[in-house]
Amino acid sequence: MNEKCMTHQWRFRVLPVLTAVFLCACNSPPNSTMHEHVEERIANAHTRADHQGLAQFFEQEALEAKRQAEEHMAMSKRYTDPAWTGSGSWIHPRGHCDTLTRLYEKAEQENMALAALHRQRAAETNE
């Protein structure tokens, strides 16, 4: 076998494995532990530190929602090309992105409201 064929075979064997590892790593959100216990943390929030921690959690959620909204807004602009708008498909990618942009913007607002609520509770708590 020549060297070129061996290189191509190597790529077809290793690339799928590397891709799978990368995708698995990307599917683990950095604060997944926080998500797992947030209901419990809300139910047991009694101290100033508890409420401050929840406020920080919801602020982080708001930042992520804002990032997602900005990303979908940028994608929407890419779908203005006639190749996408005249495709005849039942899926309208620009409308899809616009809808997600609005939903993520709303999620940002709601998460900031929850963060403010927990900041207020933290200020009112004597512990």
- Pick from 37, 45, 31: which is nearest to 114 by CA? 45
Q: What is the pTM of this model?
A: 0.68
Return the domain boundaries, the chain: 1-30, 31-124
Which pLDDT score is estimated for 90?
Answer: 63
Task: From first to last of the 127 residues of the chain, give the pLDDT tens digit.
Answer: 555 554 445 444 544 544 444 444 444 454 556 678 999 999 999 999 999 999 999 999 999 999 999 999 999 998 887 777 665 666 788 889 999 999 999 999 999 999 999 999 999 998 7
- Pick from 103, 109, 99: which is nearest to 76 by CA? 99
Which pLDDT score is estimated for 8?
Answer: 47
